[in-house]
Chains A and B, each alone.
Chain A
């Protein structure tokens, strides 16, 4: 320790103050909005939820229990159809250049935040597009019948029926609390859309600026109700190119990067400077067909394509062994996972036969939409698309690869402009239902989240039975049936389950990749000196 200090020329001790007290996270894309209620993209959640806002309650994945957040305590009443939340007093909202709070957080803010997505007549409901994909596809919107204020620090939420996933959904990154006072101020100024662009929350960081394609800048909330963040300044430096991100980590221009090219980084990096961490982040990468468009409205065609692609070659080339071939939607880590047969076998001849049966002996031409960014479940969708393109060429199907900037990509997907898309899903919570309902149900189709645009009453019926069942063994059996049904219908082809990786410089600590939901920088800090060998 002493020698490190005396040497004095180690870069860490010479770093100018702003560098020493700040942290650069090189994120993979622009946040779509600064309000996670409006989105499902992990990029936006990482950049906003845990930094700007708090939720009523939090979830600790290790101990598998709920922790108090803005609600101190909560009870289930009326056989689980009413929940009462006691709110935390003395929690202040951010003071910024554009808003000075005159009162602390109270029940009004909870009502305001919930009604924004619950109540279609709420003045803020239509702001920012009027879509609340998480709340629609998770069924939360149809579950909650009413939210009412009992007193300033007590709120009741009435449910239409008892639902064991309710608290889990409230603890996700999407159920954040906005400031009702700020909302009123903006309405008065007639610029309500600013609420999602110049955000105000109660979280550990205060929004400072956002420059598209460059940076998002936060500074520490000194008066945070829990222990304040360790770093003075938090910067998201937007770096979509994975290779550039890795090189910038090596040169020290980034302190932490998500979704590193694990294999290459391990070959390159000096382990005293860079370390790679990972978390089991239940996720699945899949290839979804737009089942509304011919010829993908025929299950036969979809199955033919499923047999045409060599998934184990994809796993080798794209994930370099850091993933396993998905046998179904559920990853092995889920309690409802049941060992299946290996899924679709790679068999181009069978594929050709199926195509012939479906009436396409000559094949056809189609688009594959490939995400322009890395996700935890897919480090390189473009490359994956090229592998699939070559596989498809073998059965006479000519594929064009289509890509747009990430936010445009998602908008167009939601409008169903694609033939097929390489995308995936990361679980928001531990319930197996989360792998089906937000991805493939009719409700998910309406919210634009169902990339297969698949709406099948049989499937929805099965899902409903599974969610209303209590016993795990029976639920497991039902999910096995559901997997089987998805397998035969093939609205999408599961490709891989992988870990979520993150790489960082070793002088940063307190930031681990999350198991569920987005990143939280509150504990992140920079060590005083670079550790000496």
Chain B
């Protein structure tokens, strides 16, 4: 697979939900190309369709019209080939399994050997700094720790694409900074393609190579910013001039989308 081949490609994507109050246009004419190794953030106010678009990539929602391909396949085919890991807003751990048991679950489903399950579980637990908590049950941990466990679970099976829907929304700033750094390191090391939904402008700018600004009613893309920031990003890059300029452009984009209401 060549490096510049698009991993995710959306052309003229529309999605209309039929609700009790009539049809709701969740996505309108979304066109986007995500290349291999991109870190793409989706930012916008609630109702702008950023989560819906991510769910379309994951074949959890199905577009009403337009074309969406993942690795050149339909999202559903890609899902069956286990092309991505998905981290939801809430941890969604199964309460009858221990933390390690939860992380092992996708590995069991995908048929990894017992030894490899153990090895991978240990590795990702260490990665999210939950080493030693494997034998606890989810309800014995704080919300932040549960969310870290759910990230570990999505990392465990090493899918090429990682889709994250506001994964750090519930965490405090310090943990969030550290996990942002961890995600960047992971991304640099593995070359995964990452789709990341967030409300936070600094988070989007700090993490992304491409920032997709969206606006609501109907959900659509208003700006796509290719970040000029280098791949190596220490935390204090957030005080640099380029960083502030990009953040400014994102904020302007969000404001413009808002004024159209």
Are A and B interaction partners? no
Interface residues, chain B, CB within 8 Å of chain A?
none
Interface residues, chain A, CB within 8 Å of chain B?
none
